[in-house]
Chains A and B, each alone.
Chain A
Amino acid sequence: MRHVFALLTASALILGLAACGADQQPPATPDEAATGAAFAGTIRIGAALSETGKYAVEGRDSRQGYDTWLRWVNEEYGGIEIGGRRYAAEIVYYDDESDADTAANLVQKLIHEDNVDFLLGPYSSSLTTGASAIAEANNVIMVEGNGTSDTMFERGFRNLFLVATIASDYTKSTIEALAARGARTAVIAYEDTSFPTAVANGARRHLEANGIEVLAMETYPKDIQDASAIMTKFRDLDPDIFVGGGHYNDAVLFVNAAKELGFAPDGMLITVGPSNPKLIDELGEDLDGVLGPTQWESVMAYEGPYFGSASDYAAYYERLWGEPPVYQAASATASALALHLAVETAGTTDTDAVREALYGLEADTFYGPISFDERGVNTSKPMGAVQVQDGLIRVVAPGEAAVADLLYPRAGASGGGKASAAERVAQMLINGIALGGMYTLLVLGFSIIWGVMGVINFAHGEFVMIGAYAAWLANDVWGVDPFLTVPLVFLVMMLVGFGTQRLLVNHVIDRPHLVSLLVMFAVAIILQNVMKVVFSADFRRADTALDGVWQVAGEVTVPVTRFWILVVALAVAGGLSLFLARSRLGKSIRAAAQNREAARILGIDVAKVYAVTFAICIGITGVAGALISPVLAVQPFQGPPLTLKAFAITAMAGLGSVRGALGGAMVLGLVEAGLAVYIPQIGTNLAVVASFVLLVVALVVRPQGLFKGLRPVDATAT
């Protein structure tokens, strides 16, 4: 290896001398390269990458990957060689803000304004799809390693090349390994967006090719909060292996739901997440035995004449950036390397010649073998697989790169039996009621605020979210059980509610609905993004001692956490009912709701009553958040769907009616559970919209409201 470097450096030196005559120094720094002091010219490459937005982290990794190649090619390698002359490489970057429109626009700019010779890909399939269409239309080559959806390569493009393994082959080597170990049945769950769908369809193909029967395939929408309905359905089918996922956060949902429901298949393969150490921090031992595909790991036994072996590359990368490379970075470096090699083979930067060189490329690299098929996809590099073993990420496939044995069945796996029809009905009812209990707790505060002061609290879900973060934080830092945080969260959130009311709500209470709606909506946006800045958008989970399941009869189980949430919900609803009916303050609240002017005349301090009502309601809402923190994922954007559910339940069941909230929540819980269990494949998607359909139908059919609350519903316009 060292000889190669020495030779290359020497030749670069000679060429540099030849090119610049008097210059005695070899090209050493990019600055020098940029000024062209030692090079015959510059090859300009463009890339749009996410520095901000949801792909900011992966975007930064990709950029470091590209820059690793850039530093290496200019400083170590001595520039790209074309026709015996050395050319410096330059990469022009723009921030695409994780937005597809922006990425496409920036590629246009790179081509027309920066006149780049070639393009490197952005991060993610969704951004690459649009960006590559622009590249294709302008006949500019784009090599990429971080957008792997199959659909991109079914468009017949001639200028798009992928060094990474394509999405449909993500699970191939893992499934082959599992089949060899005796897996016979499988279930698949996937987010129905481009990349996860491609992975899932590929998984189905590989499963069937290996003689594994696919018992069920379920989709779920982006931004799903709760995977328990899917997992219940799967548990009743008793499969050997579970294949699921789409994005990092889904891994949290699946592992969570599986644990909560006592679903423990022999093998769990989760598409994205297990290769990321962050996930082990979050899920701890619950992640043990979980498998995940990986594009590349530094321990893999790959080697090539450039960068050396995978671990040599990792060492070089770490020297530059002070952290080990993730596979996104390695894919980025490999993309640039593939382009570099093709340009050298072609001996020109002409697009047609370089394209032919890319098609003809056969290289062994630190990243694995690279050669492209007619679609532009690297089919020679197999996907690897990792398994979390005792809290460590170990490569278990493919055979030549493996460092540990695949553990199958995984530790803690327990096969149940297939559920009978009656058992499924019973389970559905239990799940529905448990869900109803959660919704009751979630809706009470919203309903009372609307009923008493006529304010639609559009930031309701965000107060839930803050309660959830409070409990998670207490759990994460001091190990306090979320159920024990209830009193404290209630008090703190009461203060938050009181402050919000005094500061903001009080000023909009007499203004049109649009005003309070928009102000609270703005509060929601602010809270979401403040939490995102503070805690990042990663899904979190709190741990409670009240977890697991009670086996009731046969395959029917009761999820323990949800049972206790239901108990708390009933207690809060009962207490609130009594408080409103009996206590002096409760009577004042009801009076103020029914006729504010009359209440004022009777000497009730309406402003105070409003502030206290708001405080109590936000307190309850915060408690709801604290209690769902072990069940639903804790994340900055969990609020809006909860707000809309609260709205739907309240508008149907009566504004400010405790009994209505309970009834409405139970109906919605049962409908959602029923849809999720009995509608095959798309049940979870339908459950997501059930509340809106119910709401719109209820309002249109009966605009005066279904039930009587503190305030009449009265939705008719004329």
Chain B
Amino acid sequence: MSGTPSQPRPTARRDRSRLRRLLVRASVGLLILLAVLPALPGVGDAALFTLTLMLTSVAVAVNWNLTGGFTGYVDFGHAVWFGIGAYTTAILMSLQTNGPQIGWAAPPAIILGAVVAGVLAAAIGRATMRLKGPYFSIALLGTFVAVREIVRVSGGLTGGGVGLTLPPYLNRPLFYYLQLALVAGLVAFTWWLRSTRFGTALVAIREDEVGAETRGINTTRLKVTVFSFAGFSTGLFGGLWAYQNTFVDPDIAFVEVRTIDAVMGTMLGGLGTVAGPVVGTVALFWLRELLWAHLLDYHLIAQGVLLIVIVLFLPRGVVGIIDPRGTSLTALWRRWTGRGARSDEPEREP
């Protein structure tokens, strides 16, 4: 922490350690609850599938937050890694010759899917992370649209717009526990990462990239590494999703909404915090399941209004309000404009 400009006051530090204990206890409790959930009466496969989809959203948001929240590189095309993981898995599993079936088994296919996503993320990150602010955001959005179109026109490999069908294997509890373990591991990893020198350096990139560079941090390597990891991890969940969905085509594997949900969930929970994306995505998910299902056609309008409200009035998110280490948008502002207020102050209208 010594490297960051705003050294917290002792009381703030005590508050924070109390907060951290609370958060750890809450997450352990939640984890136990989620682990015993399938054993409860009335929780069938359908409910587990819904929860598995929720876990997928959480994972994508946590990964998005690694670059968007920690390093301040706002990726508007993050769903591309999900699609690449899903497609690699689907291609490998549905490989066919005229003779015997030579499709891969699911586990190696899903892992290789994640690796492909990670490697491509490293390559794309290497090229695009030289761009800043909105340019980076839109370049990634462009990458997303371009990759979807490439998948669409590469019919021989990807099945084109028609897509690929996977051998159906539907074991909801298995996928649920697998993804629960993966998400728990991912969140724990993020939490740990945040306290390492590496994590501190990431935040330093967000706060002042030039300064970090002059202090001897190889910012390019750091940000590309974390971007690549986020791509790998989202690709992994893409592969798992493809297997459960038993079917991929360009328009369901590459969906803008996955990115939008990750951004919205993270903003709602708290950008740049460990717990933010989890809290925000879960809240958003249930809000949609319980409330917005009744709004029918109006729910997207409500979602838009909510986004404006979050951005304008809750810029630090739910967790950000109580955890002073969260990225306030003011910090981003300073990064992009070179002027602005202190990052530990709540934002005000200029």
| A residues adjacent to B (C-beta < 8 A) | 51-52, 97, 100-101, 104-106, 108-109, 112-113, 126, 129-130, 133-134, 136-138, 149, 151, 155, 191-194, 196-198, 219, 221-222, 456, 504, 507-508, 510-515, 517-519, 521-526, 528-530, 532-533, 644, 647-648, 651, 682, 685-686, 688-689, 691-693, 695-696, 699-700, 703, 713, 715-718
Contact = CB atoms under 8 A, between A and B. Distances in A.
A686 B154 CA distance: 12
Interface stretch (B6-14, B131-139, B196-204, B276-284): B131-139
B305 interface: yes
Contacts of B53: 101, 105
A126 B333 contact: no
A308 B146 CA distance: 53
A716 B131 CA distance: 5
Contact of A518 (B296, B311, B350): B311
A635 B296 CA distance: 20
Contacts of A511: 329, 333, 347
Given A108-B49, A692-B142, A191 B161 contact: yes
Interface residues of B, number: 75
A508 B312 contact: yes
Contacts of B108: none
Interface string B324-349: 00000110110111000000000101
Interface string B34-65: 00000000001110011001000000000000
Given A194-B163, A529-B298, A685-B153, A703 B135 contact: yes
Contact of A715 (B131, B304, B305): B131
A718 B50 CA distance: 43
Given A193-B161, A507-B349, 10 more contacts: A100-B247, A126-B252, A456-B134, A514-B133, A514-B329, A517-B74, A525-B303, A533-B297, A693-B146, A715-B133
Say whether chain B's binding surface is mostly helix, strand, loop, or mixed: helix
For A191, A507, A695, A699, the residue with the greatest tally of chain B CB atoms inside 10 Å of its CB is A699
B131 A130 contact: no
B161 A192 contact: yes
B305 A689 contact: no
Contacts of B150: 689
Contact of A194 (B46, B133, B161, B293): B161
Contacts of B135: 651, 699, 703, 713, 715
A126 B250 CA distance: 12
Contact of A513 (B133, B145, B303, B307): B133
B168 interface: yes
A602 to B, nearest CB: 20
B146 A519 contact: no
B336 A137 contact: no
B46 A718 contact: no
A190 to B, nearest CB: 9
B344 to A, nearest CB: 16
Contacts of A686: 149, 153
Nearest to A524: B304
A222 B153 contact: no
Nearest to B347: A511
A101 to B, nearest CB: 6
Interface stretch (B21-29, B122-130, B231-239): B122-130
A126 B142 contact: no
Of all A-B residue pairs in the complex, the 3 with the closest CB atoms, nearest first, are: A192-B161, A692-B142, A109-B46
Nearest to B42: A113
Interface in B174-206: none
25 contacts: A104-B245, A105-B46, A109-B46, A113-B46, A126-B249, A130-B246, A130-B247, A149-B162, A151-B163, A194-B161, A198-B162, A222-B161, A508-B311, A515-B333, A517-B137, A523-B304, A525-B300, A525-B303, A526-B304, A530-B301, A644-B141, A682-B153, A686-B149, A688-B149, A715-B132
Residue among A151, A198, A221, A696 having the largest count of chain B Cβ atoms under 10 Å: A696
A597 B303 CA distance: 36
B299 to A, nearest CB: 8
A197 B160 contact: yes
Contacts of B127: 696, 700
Nearest to A527: B304
Nearest to A108: B46
B311 A519 contact: yes
A363 B165 CA distance: 32
Given A521-B307, A692-B145, A513 B168 contact: no
Contacts of A651: 135, 138
Contacts of A713: 135
B251 to A, nearest CB: 6
B248 to A, nearest CB: 10
Given A507-B349, A511-B333, A137 B170 contact: yes
Nearest to B132: A717
A437 B263 CA distance: 35
B315 interface: yes
Given A52-B297, A511-B333, A715-B132, A155 B165 contact: yes
Interface in B155-169: 155, 160-163, 165, 168-169
B95 interface: no
B308 interface: yes
B19 interface: no
Contacts of A138: 170
B143 interface: yes
Contacts of A700: 127-128, 130-131, 139
Contacts of B160: 192, 197, 219
B15 interface: no
A692 B44 CA distance: 44
B304 A129 contact: no
A718 B169 CA distance: 48
Contact of B307 (A222, A518, A682, A691): A518
B230 interface: no
A283 B213 CA distance: 61
Nearest to A683: B153
A149 to B, nearest CB: 8
B162 A109 contact: no
B46 A717 contact: no
Interface string B253-282: 000000000010001000000000000000
B152 interface: yes
A138 B169 CA distance: 10
Nearest to A113: B44
B237 to A, nearest CB: 14
Given A126-B252, A130-B246, A689 B131 contact: no
B142 A696 contact: yes
A647 B138 contact: yes
B153 to A, nearest CB: 4
B129 A717 contact: yes
Contacts of B304: 522-526, 529
B209 interface: yes
- Interface centre among B50, B168, B300, by most chain A C-beta atoms within 10 angstroms, is B168
Contacts of B161: 191-194, 196-197, 219, 221-222
B44 A100 contact: no
B300 A529 contact: yes
A501 to B, nearest CB: 15
B105 interface: no
B245 A52 contact: no
Contact of A512 (B141, B152, B263, B337): B337
Contact of B142 (A196, A504, A648, A685): A648
Contacts of A533: 297-298, 301
A519 B349 CA distance: 15
Nearest to A700: B127
A522 B249 CA distance: 27
A373 B73 CA distance: 55
Question: Of A456, A513, A713, which is in contact with the most chain B CB atoms at under 10 Å from its CB?
Answer: A513
